[in-house]
């Protein structure tokens, strides 16, 4: 979690300059958003590249996509959606139709990953938010390489 906070602090510091956007007068901050859905294979083939699509929800119109947070320690990878939040007063809630499960109306982000050597087992920790005690929660995908 300390690394996530450090990354967010650095991103904020680097992006605090005027970008020329129409909303440049409004203060901004960065937030991670939970991943609603990501489909992963049951196994990887060594040396093969894979593209993964993740689905997520933007809470209000003041959120904009800022990239995929991807942190790796060995074979464990932590993944979340990074957003830039404009602190304006006219933010509108974003609604999604998810009555039939994750669908095409959710926001989408992609990342690429190349599998390492055969015998490696990767754990992808998809950040799903925080629990009632403020602790980070994850959905873990464990994928072996053959």
What HEC string does 49-89 produce? EEEEEEEECCCECCEEEEEEEEEEECCEEEEEEEEEEECCC
pLDDT value of residue 6: 45
Kindly state the average pLDDT of the residues 66-94: 94
pLDDT in tens, 42-76: 999 999 999 999 999 999 999 999 999 999 889 99
What sign for the dihedral angle of Cα 60, 63, 67, 73? negative
pLDDT higher for 52 or 7? 52
pLDDT of residue 71: 94
**Terminal CA-CA length for the chain:** 31
Q: What is the pLDDT of residue 96?
A: 80
Distance CA 91, CA 96 (A): 16
What per-residue confidence (pLDDT) applies to 13? 54
pLDDT for 48 equals 97
Which pLDDT score, from 0 to 100, does residue 26 have?
84
The pTM (predicted TM-score) of the whole model is 0.75
Distance, in Å, from the CA atom of 1 to the CA atom of 129, rounded to the nearest integer, reads: 12
Domain residue spans of the chain: 2-144
Rounded Cα gap, residues 29 and 12, in angstroms: 6
pLDDT at site 5:
47
- In tens, the pLDDT along 100-144 reads 665 557 899 999 999 999 999 999 999 999 999 999 999 999 999
Q: What is the pLDDT of residue 16?
A: 56
The 3-state DSSP class for residue 6 equals: helix
Across residues 4-13, what is the average pLDDT? 51
């Amino acid at each position: 979690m300390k690394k996530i906070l450090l990354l967010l602090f650095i991103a904020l510091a680097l992006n605090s300059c005027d970008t020329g956007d129409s909303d440049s007068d409004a203060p901004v901050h960065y937030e991670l958003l939970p991943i609603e859905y990501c489909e992963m294979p049951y196994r990887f083939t060594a040396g093969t590249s894979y593209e993964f699509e993740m689905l997520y929800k933007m809470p209000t119109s003041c959120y904009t996509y800022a990239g995929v947070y991807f942190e790796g320690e060995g074979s464990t990878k932590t993944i979340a959606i990074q957003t830039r939040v404009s602190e304006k007063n006219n933010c509108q809630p974003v609604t999604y139709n998810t009555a039939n499960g994750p669908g095409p109306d959710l926001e989408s982000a992609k990342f690429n990953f190349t599998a390492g050597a055969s015998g490696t087992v990767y754990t992808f920790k998809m950040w799903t938010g925080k629990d009632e005690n403020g602790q980070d929660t994850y959905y873990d995908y464990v994928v072996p390489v053959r």
